[in-house]
Amino acid sequence: MCGHGAGGHKSDRPLQALAPQLAGCGLDVVRFDFPYRARGSRRPDPMPRLQAAFAEAVEEARRRYRPARLILGGRSMGGRVATMLAAQGFACDGLLLFAYPLHPDGKPEKLRDAHLPAIRVPVLCFNGTRDRLCRRELMERVVESVTAPWRMRWLEGAGHSFAALPDDAVQEIRGWLAVL
Per DSSP bridges, beta strands 123-128 and 150-155 are parallel
Q: What is the per-residue pLDDT for 28?
A: 93
What phi, psi does 150 have (nearest 5°)? -120, 115
> Can you list the domains of the chain with their CATH numbers?
2-179 (3.40.50.1820)
Q: What is the per-residue pLDDT for 162?
A: 94
Indicate the burial class of 82 (C-beta count within 10 angstroms; 0-12, 13-18, 19 or more).
buried
Q: What is the per-residue pLDDT for 53?
A: 98
Contacts of 55 by beta carbon, 8 Å cutoff, 6+ apart:
85, 90
Mean pLDDT by 10 residues, the chain (180 residues): 96 94 95 97 98 98 96 98 98 98 97 98 98 98 96 98 94 96
Q: What span, in angstroms and rounded, lies between the C-alpha atoms of 85 and 65?
A: 20
The radius of gyration computed from the CA coordinates of the chain, to the nearest angstrom, equals: 15
3-state secondary structure of 97: strand
3-state secondary structure of 63: helix
Q: What is the pTM of this model?
A: 0.97
